[in-house]
A and B are shown apart, each in its own frame.
Chain A
Protein backbone atom coordinates (compact mmCIF):
# COMPACT_ATOMS: atom_id res chain seq x y z
CA UNK A 1 0.00 0.00 0.00
CA UNK A 2 1.35 3.46 -0.78
CA UNK A 3 2.26 5.63 2.13
CA UNK A 4 0.05 8.59 2.90
CA UNK A 5 0.99 11.85 4.52
CA UNK A 6 -1.22 11.91 7.60
CA UNK A 7 -1.05 13.43 11.05
CA UNK A 8 -0.21 11.34 14.07
CA UNK A 9 -3.75 11.43 15.44
CA UNK A 10 -5.09 9.90 12.27
CA UNK A 11 -2.40 7.22 12.15
CA UNK A 12 -3.11 6.36 15.75
CA UNK A 13 -6.82 6.09 15.02
CA UNK A 14 -6.15 3.90 11.99
CA UNK A 15 -3.85 1.77 14.10
CA UNK A 16 -6.66 1.24 16.59
CA UNK A 17 -9.08 0.26 13.89
CA UNK A 18 -6.49 -2.05 12.32
CA UNK A 19 -6.12 -3.73 15.71
CA UNK A 20 -9.83 -4.44 15.77
CA UNK A 21 -10.88 -1.76 18.22
CA UNK A 22 -14.63 -1.44 17.88
CA UNK A 23 -15.51 0.76 20.83
CA UNK A 24 -14.02 4.14 21.50
CA UNK A 25 -15.14 6.99 23.67
CA UNK A 26 -13.59 10.21 24.80
CA UNK A 27 -13.97 13.75 26.02
CA UNK A 28 -12.54 16.46 23.80
CA UNK A 29 -9.34 17.99 25.13
CA UNK A 30 -6.35 19.37 23.31
CA UNK A 31 -4.29 17.52 21.98
CA UNK A 32 -6.40 14.37 22.23
CA UNK A 33 -9.40 15.78 20.41
CA UNK A 34 -8.36 14.84 16.90
CA UNK A 35 -8.01 11.18 17.84
CA UNK A 36 -11.64 11.29 18.98
CA UNK A 37 -12.65 12.98 15.74
CA UNK A 38 -10.91 10.39 13.60
CA UNK A 39 -12.41 7.52 15.58
CA UNK A 40 -15.87 9.09 15.30
CA UNK A 41 -15.40 9.01 11.54
CA UNK A 42 -13.71 5.62 11.23
CA UNK A 43 -15.52 3.36 13.69
CA UNK A 44 -19.00 3.49 12.16
CA UNK A 45 -17.39 2.58 8.84
CA UNK A 46 -16.03 -0.55 10.50
CA UNK A 47 -19.09 -1.62 12.46
CA UNK A 48 -17.95 -0.03 15.67
CA UNK A 49 -19.25 2.56 18.08
CA UNK A 50 -17.62 5.85 19.02
CA UNK A 51 -19.42 8.06 21.49
CA UNK A 52 -18.69 11.27 23.29
CA UNK A 53 -18.36 10.62 26.95
CA UNK A 54 -19.76 13.37 29.11
CA UNK A 55 -16.69 13.21 31.30
CA UNK A 56 -13.42 11.32 31.45
CA UNK A 57 -14.78 9.35 34.39
CA UNK A 58 -17.59 8.10 32.23
CA UNK A 59 -15.22 7.43 29.35
CA UNK A 60 -13.13 4.98 31.31
CA UNK A 61 -16.31 3.42 32.72
CA UNK A 62 -17.71 2.85 29.26
CA UNK A 63 -14.47 1.24 28.14
CA UNK A 64 -14.59 -1.01 31.21
CA UNK A 65 -18.06 -2.19 30.24
CA UNK A 66 -17.29 -2.59 26.56
CA UNK A 67 -14.14 -4.56 27.33
CA UNK A 68 -15.97 -6.74 29.86
CA UNK A 69 -18.46 -7.50 27.11
CA UNK A 70 -15.65 -8.71 24.86
CA UNK A 71 -14.80 -5.79 22.59
CA UNK A 72 -11.40 -4.29 22.00
CA UNK A 73 -12.10 -0.95 23.59
CA UNK A 74 -10.10 2.21 24.15
CA UNK A 75 -10.32 5.71 25.43
CA UNK A 76 -7.86 8.50 25.86
CA UNK A 77 -7.34 11.98 27.07
CA UNK A 78 -4.57 14.29 28.12
CA UNK A 79 -2.72 13.91 31.42
CA UNK A 80 -5.31 16.08 33.13
CA UNK A 81 -8.09 13.79 31.94
CA UNK A 82 -6.12 10.69 32.80
CA UNK A 83 -5.89 12.09 36.31
CA UNK A 84 -9.64 11.68 36.52
CA UNK A 85 -9.46 8.09 35.33
CA UNK A 86 -6.92 6.84 37.85
CA UNK A 87 -9.28 5.04 40.22
CA UNK A 88 -10.83 3.10 37.39
CA UNK A 89 -7.50 2.27 35.75
CA UNK A 90 -6.14 0.82 38.97
CA UNK A 91 -9.31 -1.16 39.57
CA UNK A 92 -9.35 -2.43 36.00
CA UNK A 93 -6.00 -4.01 36.81
CA UNK A 94 -7.55 -5.75 39.77
CA UNK A 95 -10.54 -6.63 37.64
CA UNK A 96 -8.37 -8.08 34.86
CA UNK A 97 -10.04 -5.90 32.25
CA UNK A 98 -8.12 -5.52 29.01
CA UNK A 99 -8.24 -2.04 27.51
CA UNK A 100 -6.05 0.61 25.95
CA UNK A 101 -5.81 4.14 27.28
CA UNK A 102 -4.10 6.92 25.36
CA UNK A 103 -2.43 9.89 26.91
CA UNK A 104 -1.99 12.51 24.21
CA UNK A 105 0.03 14.49 26.66
CA UNK A 106 0.80 18.17 26.56
CA UNK A 107 4.46 17.23 26.63
CA UNK A 108 6.53 14.82 28.62
CA UNK A 109 5.29 15.87 32.02
CA UNK A 110 3.10 12.82 32.58
CA UNK A 111 5.88 10.23 32.84
CA UNK A 112 5.28 9.82 36.58
CA UNK A 113 1.54 9.50 36.09
CA UNK A 114 2.00 6.88 33.40
CA UNK A 115 4.60 4.74 35.11
CA UNK A 116 3.88 5.18 38.82
CA UNK A 117 0.16 5.25 38.28
CA UNK A 118 -1.92 7.84 40.05
CA UNK A 119 -4.35 5.24 41.32
CA UNK A 120 -4.36 3.43 44.61
CA UNK A 121 -2.78 0.16 45.54
CA UNK A 122 -0.22 -2.18 44.05
CA UNK A 123 -0.78 -2.32 40.32
CA UNK A 124 1.03 -1.85 37.04
CA UNK A 125 0.17 -0.95 33.52
CA UNK A 126 2.46 -1.50 30.56
CA UNK A 127 3.32 1.84 28.93
CA UNK A 128 4.31 2.28 25.27
CA UNK A 129 5.93 5.53 24.11
CA UNK A 130 6.33 5.94 20.34
CA UNK A 131 8.97 8.20 18.84
CA UNK A 132 7.20 9.04 15.61
CA UNK A 133 4.03 8.52 13.60
CA UNK A 134 4.90 5.18 11.96
CA UNK A 135 5.96 3.69 15.28
CA UNK A 136 2.79 5.05 16.87
CA UNK A 137 0.61 3.18 14.39
CA UNK A 138 2.48 -0.03 15.23
CA UNK A 139 2.66 0.37 18.99
CA UNK A 140 -1.04 1.19 19.14
CA UNK A 141 -1.73 -2.27 17.76
CA UNK A 142 0.78 -3.86 20.11
CA UNK A 143 -1.02 -2.13 22.97
CA UNK A 144 -4.22 -4.03 22.24
CA UNK A 145 -2.30 -7.26 21.94
CA UNK A 146 -0.60 -6.77 25.30
CA UNK A 147 -3.89 -5.78 26.90
CA UNK A 148 -5.50 -9.02 25.76
CA UNK A 149 -2.44 -11.12 26.49
CA UNK A 150 -2.24 -9.95 30.10
CA UNK A 151 -5.87 -8.96 30.72
CA UNK A 152 -4.73 -5.57 31.88
CA UNK A 153 -5.06 -1.92 30.88
CA UNK A 154 -2.19 -0.72 28.71
CA UNK A 155 -1.18 2.93 28.43
CA UNK A 156 -0.04 4.58 25.24
CA UNK A 157 2.02 7.70 25.75
CA UNK A 158 1.71 10.20 22.94
CA UNK A 159 1.85 13.96 22.91
CA UNK A 160 0.98 17.15 21.09
CA UNK A 161 3.95 16.86 18.80
CA UNK A 162 3.04 13.33 17.78
CA UNK A 163 -0.62 14.24 17.33
CA UNK A 164 -0.04 17.05 14.88
CA UNK A 165 3.08 16.11 12.97
CA UNK A 166 2.35 14.69 9.54
CA UNK A 167 4.49 11.84 8.27
CA UNK A 168 4.36 9.33 5.45
CA UNK A 169 2.96 6.12 6.86
CA UNK A 170 1.21 3.00 5.65
CA UNK A 171 -0.93 1.66 8.48
CA UNK A 172 -1.19 -2.09 8.07
CA UNK A 173 -2.72 -4.58 10.45
CA UNK A 174 -0.06 -6.41 12.42
CA UNK A 175 -0.34 -9.84 13.94
CA UNK A 176 1.56 -10.19 17.20
CA UNK A 177 0.77 -13.84 17.72
CA UNK A 178 -1.83 -16.06 19.30
CA UNK A 179 -3.86 -14.92 22.24
CA UNK A 180 -5.78 -16.92 24.84
CA UNK A 181 -9.53 -17.14 24.21
CA UNK A 182 -11.62 -14.39 25.75
CA UNK A 183 -13.64 -16.78 27.84
CA UNK A 184 -13.64 -14.42 30.79
CA UNK A 185 -15.94 -11.87 29.16
CA UNK A 186 -19.63 -11.67 29.93
CA UNK A 187 -22.27 -12.01 27.26
CA UNK A 188 -25.26 -13.06 29.32
CA UNK A 189 -25.36 -16.64 28.10
CA UNK A 190 -24.11 -18.15 31.34
CA UNK A 191 -27.02 -16.72 33.33
CA UNK A 192 -29.05 -19.27 35.27
CA UNK A 193 -26.59 -22.10 34.61
CA UNK A 194 -24.98 -22.01 38.02
CA UNK A 195 -21.76 -20.93 36.30
CA UNK A 196 -22.53 -17.34 35.50
CA UNK A 197 -19.51 -15.14 34.97
CA UNK A 198 -18.22 -12.21 36.92
CA UNK A 199 -15.84 -9.46 35.89
CA UNK A 200 -14.91 -7.75 39.12
CA UNK A 201 -12.07 -5.87 40.80
CA UNK A 202 -13.01 -7.55 44.09
CA UNK A 203 -12.68 -11.22 43.20
CA UNK A 204 -12.05 -13.52 40.31
CA UNK A 205 -15.26 -15.54 40.17
CA UNK A 206 -18.62 -15.55 41.90
CA UNK A 207 -17.75 -18.45 44.14
CA UNK A 208 -14.09 -18.18 45.02
CA UNK A 209 -14.19 -15.46 47.62
CA UNK A 210 -16.41 -13.58 49.90
CA UNK A 211 -15.77 -9.90 49.90
CA UNK A 212 -16.11 -9.61 53.62
CA UNK A 213 -13.89 -11.57 55.90
CA UNK A 214 -10.39 -11.79 54.46
CA UNK A 215 -11.20 -12.95 50.97
CA UNK A 216 -10.39 -9.63 49.37
CA UNK A 217 -6.88 -9.82 50.79
CA UNK A 218 -6.17 -12.95 48.84
CA UNK A 219 -7.50 -11.25 45.72
CA UNK A 220 -4.97 -8.46 46.20
CA UNK A 221 -2.22 -11.04 46.53
CA UNK A 222 -3.45 -12.69 43.37
CA UNK A 223 -3.26 -9.31 41.66
CA UNK A 224 0.31 -8.73 42.81
CA UNK A 225 1.31 -12.14 41.49
CA UNK A 226 -0.20 -11.16 38.13
CA UNK A 227 1.71 -7.89 38.08
CA UNK A 228 4.95 -9.72 38.75
CA UNK A 229 4.21 -12.24 36.03
CA UNK A 230 3.50 -9.40 33.63
CA UNK A 231 6.76 -7.68 34.49
CA UNK A 232 8.68 -10.90 33.98
CA UNK A 233 6.78 -11.80 30.84
CA UNK A 234 7.09 -8.56 28.84
CA UNK A 235 10.57 -7.99 27.47
CA UNK A 236 11.29 -4.27 27.76
CA UNK A 237 11.48 -2.65 24.34
CA UNK A 238 14.29 -0.22 23.74
CA UNK A 239 16.14 1.38 20.87
CA UNK A 240 19.85 1.99 21.25
CA UNK A 241 22.53 3.56 19.09
CA UNK A 242 26.29 4.04 19.11
CA UNK A 243 26.75 2.43 22.51
CA UNK A 244 29.82 0.30 21.83
CA UNK A 245 32.50 2.81 22.79
CA UNK A 246 30.29 5.58 24.07
CA UNK A 247 31.64 7.67 26.90
CA UNK A 248 28.32 9.40 27.42
CA UNK A 249 24.90 7.80 26.97
CA UNK A 250 21.92 10.07 26.45
CA UNK A 251 18.59 8.59 27.53
CA UNK A 252 15.31 10.00 26.26
CA UNK A 253 11.81 8.81 25.37
CA UNK A 254 8.98 9.66 23.01
CA UNK A 255 9.12 12.50 20.51
CA UNK A 256 12.01 14.18 22.30
CA UNK A 257 14.08 11.08 21.64
CA UNK A 258 13.75 11.68 17.94
CA UNK A 259 15.88 14.79 18.41
CA UNK A 260 18.37 13.00 20.63
CA UNK A 261 18.77 10.22 18.09
CA UNK A 262 19.42 12.74 15.34
CA UNK A 263 21.81 14.96 17.30
CA UNK A 264 23.81 12.03 18.66
CA UNK A 265 24.16 10.87 15.08
CA UNK A 266 25.53 14.27 14.05
CA UNK A 267 28.00 14.26 16.94
CA UNK A 268 29.14 10.77 16.08
CA UNK A 269 29.84 11.96 12.57
CA UNK A 270 32.18 14.48 14.15
CA UNK A 271 33.88 11.68 16.03
CA UNK A 272 32.46 12.16 19.49
CA UNK A 273 31.92 8.91 21.44
CA UNK A 274 28.31 9.50 22.44
CA UNK A 275 25.47 7.03 22.33
CA UNK A 276 21.76 7.02 23.04
CA UNK A 277 19.14 4.80 24.61
CA UNK A 278 15.45 5.21 23.95
CA UNK A 279 13.11 3.23 26.17
CA UNK A 280 10.05 2.29 24.15
CA UNK A 281 8.28 0.50 26.96
CA UNK A 282 8.33 2.97 29.83
CA UNK A 283 7.06 0.04 31.86
CA UNK A 284 8.59 -2.49 32.01
CA UNK A 285 11.56 -0.15 31.95
CA UNK A 286 14.74 -1.37 30.25
CA UNK A 287 16.80 -1.26 33.44
CA UNK A 288 19.34 -3.81 32.34
CA UNK A 289 20.22 -2.20 29.03
CA UNK A 290 20.72 1.15 30.73
CA UNK A 291 22.74 -0.33 33.58
CA UNK A 292 25.12 -2.12 31.25
CA UNK A 293 25.57 0.94 29.05
CA UNK A 294 26.16 3.14 32.08
CA UNK A 295 28.85 0.86 33.45
CA UNK A 296 30.69 0.86 30.12
CA UNK A 297 30.29 4.57 29.37
CA UNK A 298 30.82 5.93 32.87
CA UNK A 299 28.35 8.78 32.29
CA UNK A 300 24.67 9.12 31.58
CA UNK A 301 22.59 12.15 30.64
CA UNK A 302 18.83 12.22 30.59
CA UNK A 303 17.00 14.51 28.19
CA UNK A 304 13.26 14.84 28.84
CA UNK A 305 10.92 17.77 28.51
CA UNK A 306 9.84 18.05 32.12
CA UNK A 307 11.45 18.80 35.43
CA UNK A 308 13.02 15.36 35.72
CA UNK A 309 10.80 12.27 35.87
CA UNK A 310 12.26 9.43 33.83
CA UNK A 311 15.62 10.32 35.36
CA UNK A 312 14.41 8.61 38.56
CA UNK A 313 14.09 5.32 36.69
CA UNK A 314 17.45 5.86 35.00
CA UNK A 315 19.08 6.48 38.37
CA UNK A 316 17.46 3.34 39.77
CA UNK A 317 18.81 1.37 36.83
CA UNK A 318 22.30 2.86 37.10
CA UNK A 319 22.21 2.34 40.85
CA UNK A 320 25.12 4.64 41.61
CA UNK A 321 27.56 3.04 39.23
CA UNK A 322 27.89 6.18 37.10
CA UNK A 323 26.86 9.83 37.37
CA UNK A 324 23.47 10.63 35.89
CA UNK A 325 22.98 14.20 34.67
CA UNK A 326 19.70 15.88 33.92
CA UNK A 327 19.99 17.80 30.68
CA UNK A 328 16.29 18.21 30.09
CA UNK A 329 14.00 21.04 30.96
CA UNK A 330 10.38 21.92 31.35
CA UNK A 331 9.81 23.74 28.10
CA UNK A 332 6.62 25.42 27.07
CA UNK A 333 5.23 27.61 24.36
CA UNK A 334 2.84 30.44 25.15
CA UNK A 335 -0.18 28.15 25.22
CA UNK A 336 1.49 25.82 27.68
CA UNK A 337 0.81 22.71 25.72
CA UNK A 338 2.08 23.15 22.20
CA UNK A 339 5.35 22.55 20.42
CA UNK A 340 7.91 23.71 22.86
CA UNK A 341 11.05 25.73 22.07
CA UNK A 342 13.38 22.90 23.09
CA UNK A 343 12.37 20.74 20.18
CA UNK A 344 15.47 22.27 18.66
CA UNK A 345 18.54 20.37 17.51
CA UNK A 346 20.95 23.23 18.19
CA UNK A 347 19.78 23.72 21.76
CA UNK A 348 19.92 20.00 22.29
CA UNK A 349 23.36 19.75 20.81
CA UNK A 350 24.57 22.38 23.29
CA UNK A 351 23.09 20.47 26.19
CA UNK A 352 24.68 17.21 25.14
CA UNK A 353 28.06 18.79 24.47
CA UNK A 354 27.99 20.52 27.83
CA UNK A 355 27.30 17.22 29.52
CA UNK A 356 30.06 15.58 27.55
CA UNK A 357 32.52 18.34 28.39
CA UNK A 358 31.60 18.32 32.04
CA UNK A 359 32.12 14.59 32.18
CA UNK A 360 35.51 14.85 30.56
CA UNK A 361 36.71 17.66 32.75
CA UNK A 362 35.75 15.60 35.76
CA UNK A 363 37.60 12.66 34.39
CA UNK A 364 40.62 14.76 33.56
CA UNK A 365 40.83 16.38 36.97
Chain B
Protein backbone atom coordinates (compact mmCIF):
# COMPACT_ATOMS: atom_id res chain seq x y z
CA UNK B 1 0.00 0.00 0.00
CA UNK B 2 1.40 3.43 -0.90
CA UNK B 3 2.00 6.04 1.79
CA UNK B 4 -0.05 8.67 0.06
CA UNK B 5 -3.52 7.30 -0.44
CA UNK B 6 -4.30 7.94 -4.11
CA UNK B 7 -6.18 6.12 -6.77
CA UNK B 8 -4.27 6.30 -10.03
CA UNK B 9 -6.63 4.35 -12.19
CA UNK B 10 -9.58 2.06 -12.50
CA UNK B 11 -10.77 -1.04 -14.27
CA UNK B 12 -13.60 -2.13 -16.45
CA UNK B 13 -14.36 -5.69 -15.45
CA UNK B 14 -16.07 -8.06 -17.90
CA UNK B 15 -17.84 -9.89 -15.15
CA UNK B 16 -19.37 -12.61 -17.28
CA UNK B 17 -16.00 -13.70 -18.70
CA UNK B 18 -14.59 -14.41 -15.25
CA UNK B 19 -14.14 -18.01 -14.11
CA UNK B 20 -13.47 -17.16 -10.49
CA UNK B 21 -9.82 -18.27 -10.45
CA UNK B 22 -8.79 -15.36 -8.16
CA UNK B 23 -5.31 -15.01 -9.70
CA UNK B 24 -5.95 -11.27 -9.95
CA UNK B 25 -6.53 -10.95 -6.22
CA UNK B 26 -3.08 -12.30 -5.37
CA UNK B 27 -1.39 -10.50 -8.25
CA UNK B 28 -2.61 -7.06 -7.21
CA UNK B 29 0.26 -5.33 -5.37
CA UNK B 30 -2.07 -2.92 -3.54
CA UNK B 31 -4.75 -5.47 -2.59
CA UNK B 32 -7.64 -3.61 -4.13
CA UNK B 33 -9.28 -6.65 -5.69
CA UNK B 34 -11.54 -8.99 -3.81
CA UNK B 35 -13.97 -11.64 -4.94
CA UNK B 36 -17.72 -11.45 -4.52
CA UNK B 37 -19.10 -13.57 -1.76
CA UNK B 38 -22.67 -14.19 -2.78
CA UNK B 39 -23.01 -12.71 -6.23
CA UNK B 40 -22.31 -14.94 -9.19
CA UNK B 41 -21.93 -14.16 -12.86
CA UNK B 42 -23.91 -15.78 -15.65
CA UNK B 43 -21.54 -18.79 -15.67
CA UNK B 44 -22.01 -19.28 -11.93
CA UNK B 45 -18.60 -18.00 -10.86
CA UNK B 46 -17.63 -15.43 -8.24
CA UNK B 47 -16.00 -12.42 -9.85
CA UNK B 48 -13.71 -9.60 -8.71
CA UNK B 49 -14.71 -6.29 -7.19
CA UNK B 50 -12.45 -3.23 -7.20
CA UNK B 51 -11.81 -0.93 -4.24
CA UNK B 52 -10.12 2.48 -4.04
CA UNK B 53 -6.41 2.67 -4.56
CA UNK B 54 -5.87 1.07 -7.96
CA UNK B 55 -2.51 2.13 -9.34
CA UNK B 56 -3.15 1.01 -12.95
CA UNK B 57 -0.13 -1.30 -12.81
CA UNK B 58 -1.90 -3.84 -15.06
CA UNK B 59 -0.82 -6.81 -12.99
CA UNK B 60 -4.40 -8.08 -12.95
CA UNK B 61 -4.68 -7.87 -16.72
CA UNK B 62 -1.35 -9.60 -17.14
CA UNK B 63 -2.26 -12.62 -15.05
CA UNK B 64 -5.92 -12.99 -15.97
CA UNK B 65 -6.50 -16.09 -18.11
CA UNK B 66 -9.87 -14.88 -19.30
CA UNK B 67 -9.06 -11.32 -20.37
CA UNK B 68 -11.52 -9.86 -17.90
CA UNK B 69 -9.88 -6.52 -17.28
CA UNK B 70 -9.61 -3.24 -19.08
CA UNK B 71 -7.16 -0.97 -17.28
CA UNK B 72 -7.53 2.81 -17.25
CA UNK B 73 -5.06 5.33 -15.89
CA UNK B 74 -6.48 8.65 -14.68
CA UNK B 75 -4.83 11.73 -16.12
CA UNK B 76 -4.65 12.98 -12.54
CA UNK B 77 -4.55 10.67 -9.55
CA UNK B 78 -7.47 11.02 -7.19
CA UNK B 79 -7.32 10.98 -3.46
CA UNK B 80 -8.63 7.72 -2.07
CA UNK B 81 -12.32 7.76 -1.19
CA UNK B 82 -13.12 10.28 -3.92
CA UNK B 83 -16.69 9.58 -4.83
CA UNK B 84 -16.45 8.20 -8.35
CA UNK B 85 -19.99 6.89 -8.31
CA UNK B 86 -21.53 7.93 -11.59
CA UNK B 87 -18.16 8.32 -13.31
CA UNK B 88 -18.15 4.87 -14.75
CA UNK B 89 -21.57 3.57 -14.05
CA UNK B 90 -23.89 2.45 -16.77
* A–B contact (CB under 8 angstroms): no
A→B interface (CB under 8 Å): none
